[in-house]
Chain A
Amino acid sequence: MSYEALVSLAVCLPLAGAVLVWLCGNTPNLREAVTLVTGGLTFLSVLLLLPQGLSGMSPELVFAAPLPGLSLSFRLEPLGMLFALIASFLWIVTSIYSIGYMRGAKEENQTRFYICFALAIAFTLGIAFSANLLTLFVFYELLTLSTYPLVTHKGNDEARRGGRVYLGVLLTTSIAFFLPAIIWTYSVTGTLDFRPGGIFGGIADSFVVGALLILFCFGVGKAALMPFHRWLPSAMVAPTPVSALLHAVAVVKAGVFTLLKITVYIFGADLLVLLEARDLMLYIAGASILLASIVAMTRDNLKARLAYSTVSQLGYITLGALLATPAGITGAAMHIAMHAFGKITLFFCAGAIYVATKKTEISQMEGLGRAMPFTMLAFLIGSLSIIGLPPTGGTWSKWYLMLGSLEAGHIALMGVLMVSSLLNIAYLLPIPIRGFFAGRNEGPSILKEAPWPCLVAMGITSAGCFVLFFFPQPLHDLAASLYGGTP
């Protein structure tokens, strides 16, 4: 199949899936089969695009021209491929998980859930493939809107409040900072295309570019840089599969992916290191990492703790992107994948615990490891990957990030990364440890695991954490081809 057809297919398949799911709404089995098949086909088409994506900047695929001189268009490049691969692969896994979770938790409006989920994936792929900032912005906003019904799925007051914060923060930042930054960039440079080496190429004074950098960093609210992180904990009112895929992978990664793309293809590493504004943003990212970790320690609700952990981990990627050294960018790109697998596993576990026992608070989970040994084991593996301990994938990305901060001469940031790892240990590891070892004398416990689809999904993602430790080479190559422009 031709390359153009494949790209369109990858984005349109989930859209078509959404329509089919809508049509099959009355027969749950068929509906979920459609979701799985669509997921499989989407992943397949992304996979077929891989050779093209790795060969550097592929030709542009224009599909609409809403503004003269600006088009909505797709173009494959390594970073986008990486993101698309992760998102489409984890969609299949999450679909398997959702089937178990949604039925187990007896959620209502499941058809709407699957429709919006498919739409969100389509828009995520749109972000991954976008060839310019305008396209990216369009899909970015569509993603916000399509995930709103998922966040407010329960439809009660709590969900509505969460949804209000979610939409409020994401729309406010994107309208108030991101959009003007895009338009300003366009009026300065006359283009919005992602180009290797950036588009500013010595035509703008450093004040304007610095201001733009700050606008972009805060404008991409999905990257959850403090103080615009509030939406992420609020989004945790959503059903767990949503938190797992969208708020640990698709949506937040869309944010940091956008930042990474902007630093690499709009500013360019050479320009970025000269900016004073960059140092400011680096320290804000560092502060975001530490503060979020500290807040995470104070949260007793498991999903809230994981959410703050995500805020902190997103700070890593932002940090790597802003370091703009080869190792920093490699680390940031790899961390997108590593954190995706680690955090989705953790969320799967949180959901599994909720479905099996209706427990949401960490303090209630003592001794849970005996009732749910498999879940707790998966949680342990996920935690290790987030902390960055071997033999899990997180080790590598942390390694490169630290290397990057050394390269850039920011010893303080290296310190931040190390302290944060310690904090990670402090807020993650006690959960499985107390799960297995605490509360022994509360009587014998019966094995009571989550539904099997949940377990399968957890198994796949935690296996992924191991695989990424032992075979990081393809991922590394993909990430390393970023700063070299064309590999």
Chain B
Amino acid sequence: MMSAIFANLPALQVILPLLFAPICFLLRKRGAAWLLAFCVSLCTFAVSIALFMQVSAAGPLSYAMGGWDPPWGIEYRVDSFNAPFLVLLSLMFCVTLAFSYKSVEKEIVQPRHALFYSAFMLCVAGLLGIVITGDAFNVFVFLEISSLSSYILISFGKDRRALTAAFQYLIMGTIGATFLLIGIGFIYMMTGTLNMADLAVRLPSVMDTHTVRAAFAFIIVGMSIKVALFPLHVWLPNAYGYAPSAASVFLAATSTKVSLYVLIRFTFTVFGAGFAFGAMPLQPILLVLAVTAVFVGSLSAIFQTNIKHVLAYSSVAQIGYMVIGFALASHAGLSAGILHMFNHAVMKGCLFLVAGCVFYRFRSARIEDFRGLGKTMPWTMGAFVVGGLGLIGMPLTAGFVSKWYLIMAALDHGFVGFLIIAAVLAGSLLAVAYVWRIVEVAYFQAPDEVHENGKEAPFILLVPAWFMALLTLYIGIDPSLVVGAAESAALSLLGSTP
């Protein structure tokens, strides 16, 4: 029994949430649906941990879905690049569910609760599937599973703008996914295979054709939409801003990262760094866009009045950092980018959880709602300050570690490197502006009548928020685990010669 479970761990990772999502919907009862989802999330987390241990002990793991051997069948492949992403996803799955019991109760009308949880589980299953699969077409299918369910999640928001945000995201997301489909079709035409490892073997011989170049361009542009890389980020602020808090927490922490994962996976594993950065001008394009993203995102964040929008625009900027690391294409740069993907997930998760706590009390998270929160909700604001300092990149927080590695990586790149460092530092200073604006309101402005009687958020909401806050601090003090994971991930992507 045990050995059967262990042999099928990669399948279980995806199937658990996928299978229980419809059951969850059938349960109908709010508490039961939540409980089921939470149990599934714990199991998923356990599976991801087991996979992570297995991979770090014994190297990459290949699982033939349904017993069809790759490259004919669908292969699930866990290596040191995606194993940590599985852990991150299932961790956020648990944390968000712990948070959502109370939060969803307040933000979504009663009959739809079970629907919310099953859509949520589908979304998680899709994201896990994208990460774990070694099959290019399978990526598309899982991408659509996760996208469709996240459109549903966003449309649950109480504000009617949630609907238009979901619609806008649906249009842009579908265009992105279809671009990916075209790209995969092209490379299938040229090689006759869909297995990523097999593609990597067969592509080099046909590399110098317009078809492959077009395929590459389609995949990059398509995924850049899902990554929300400037200037394709327009869907993101409203989608995160108007979604129910629980959904914003999960999507902000994971969904763009998973898309970036796909981008990195295709660039390095399928096409190879030599093609992407040698034959194609990927580096200058991405660097320019990413640096612009840092500025545009941070500046827009400063002028927002809704905290969720502030955080969403800050995400646009932070995605810029990750893409900078990825675009440097060196071992140091890639590890810095991957490292920031983890760290940002933790910090932004923490901040959105705080926004959710405030939303729980006041039914909105405008900047006015933060007046006097330093007094009335000290614990909530404490977590906010920790997460905010992380975004700024203060020492002893996770953000500092990413910034350190990013700057170290950029130093190897001469003059361009200096421009990047300047952009990264300017981004940090702008982060000071948008974080401190909120902190000042919370600690210096007296609350009005509505907010005067605000109480501290319920304990059950504070636990996940503080868990993420403490994780931010822990990574800041002892980042060896994440740094090690990011570095071995980068190493596995670049081959044995970093």
Contact = CB atoms under 8 A, between A and B. Distances in A.
Judged by CB atoms under 8 Å, the answer to whether A and B touch is yes
Interface of A: 64-68, 134, 137-138, 141-142, 145, 152, 155, 159-160, 163-164, 167-168, 171-172, 175-176, 179-180, 183-184, 186-187
Contacts of B425: 175-176, 179-180
Given A171-B432, A175-B428, A180-B407, A68 B393 contact: no
Interface stretch (B48-56, B237-245, B394-402, B448-456): B394-402
Interface in B422-474: 425-426, 428-429, 432, 436, 440, 443-444
Interface string B465-498: 0000000000011111001000000000000000
Contacts of B432: 167-168, 171-172, 175
Interface string B396-415: 10000101100110011000
Given A66-B477, A67-B404, A138-B396, 16 more contacts: A64-B478, A65-B480, A66-B401, A68-B483, A134-B395, A145-B389, A152-B443, A152-B444, A163-B440, A171-B392, A172-B429, A172-B432, A175-B393, A175-B425, A183-B411, A186-B408
Among all A-B residue pairs, the 9 with the closest Cβ atoms: A138-B395, A187-B411, A183-B407, A160-B444, A175-B428, A176-B425, A141-B395, A171-B432, A64-B477
Contact of B429 (A138, A163, A171): A171
Q: Which of A160, A163, A171, A175 has the most CB of B within 10 A?
A: A175
B440 A66 contact: no
Contacts of A183: 404, 407-408, 411
B351 interface: no
A66 B429 contact: no
A18 to B, nearest CB: 15
B305 to A, nearest CB: 19
A176 B480 contact: no
A145 B443 CA distance: 14
B478 A66 contact: yes
B167 to A, nearest CB: 40
Contacts of A176: 425-426, 429
Contacts of B407: 179-180, 183
Given A65-B478, A66-B478, A160-B440, A187 B408 contact: yes
A137 B393 CA distance: 12
Contacts of B444: 152, 155, 159-160
12 contacts: A64-B478, A66-B476, A66-B477, A66-B478, A142-B395, A142-B396, A159-B444, A160-B444, A164-B440, A180-B421, A183-B408, A187-B411
A175 B421 contact: no
Given A160-B444, A176-B425, A179-B425, A66 B396 contact: yes
A68 to B, nearest CB: 7
Interface of B: 389, 392-396, 401, 403-404, 407-408, 411-412, 421, 425-426, 428-429, 432, 436, 440, 443-444, 476-480, 483
Nearest to A159: B444
Contacts of B436: 164, 167
A179 B408 CA distance: 11
Nearest to B483: A68
A52 B393 CA distance: 35
Given A167-B436, A180-B407, A187-B408, A145 B395 contact: no
B440 A184 contact: no
Contacts of B426: 176
A180 B401 CA distance: 13
A64 B480 CA distance: 11
Contact of B480 (A68, A171, A186, A187): A68
A140 B401 CA distance: 17
A142 B407 CA distance: 21
A171 B396 CA distance: 15
Contact of A67 (B394, B412, B479): B479
B394 A141 contact: yes
Given A67-B404, A168-B432, A180-B421, A145 B478 contact: no
A87 to B, nearest CB: 21
Contacts of A138: 395-396
A160 B440 CA distance: 8
Contacts of A64: 477-478
A134 B479 CA distance: 15
A124 B408 CA distance: 28
B401 A145 contact: no
B215 to A, nearest CB: 38
A180 B483 CA distance: 20
Nearest to B431: A175
Given A175-B425, A184-B411, A137 B401 contact: no
A66 B408 contact: no
Contacts of A168: 432
A34 B483 CA distance: 41
A7 B426 CA distance: 37
A123 to B, nearest CB: 11
A55 to B, nearest CB: 30
B298 to A, nearest CB: 13
Contacts of A186: 408
A175 B479 CA distance: 20
A168 to B, nearest CB: 7
A172 B425 CA distance: 9
Q: Which of B389, B394, B483 has the most CB of A within 10 A?
A: B394
A111 to B, nearest CB: 13
A67 B398 CA distance: 11
A65 B411 CA distance: 22
A1 B66 CA distance: 67
Contacts of A179: 403, 407, 425
A105 B411 CA distance: 52
Contacts of B477: 64, 66
A176 B395 CA distance: 14
Contacts of A184: 411
Nearest to A160: B444
A167 B444 CA distance: 15
B294 to A, nearest CB: 14
Contact of A175 (B411, B429, B478, B483): B429
Contacts of B428: 175
Nearest to B476: A66
A302 B408 CA distance: 46
Given A167-B436, A175-B393, A180-B407, A66 B479 contact: yes
Nearest to B444: A160
B374 to A, nearest CB: 10
Contacts of B411: 183-184, 187
A184 B414 CA distance: 12
B175 to A, nearest CB: 38
Nearest to B411: A187
A64 B400 CA distance: 15
Contacts of B443: 152
Contacts of A180: 407, 421, 425
A384 B444 CA distance: 40
A152 B436 CA distance: 13
Contact of B401 (A67, A155, A171): A67
A68 B479 CA distance: 9
Nearest to A156: B444
A142 B429 CA distance: 17
A174 B488 CA distance: 31
A381 B160 CA distance: 70
A184 B478 CA distance: 22
Nearest to B400: A66
A164 B401 CA distance: 26
Nearest to B445: A160
A145 B429 CA distance: 15
A163 B401 CA distance: 27
A210 to B, nearest CB: 16
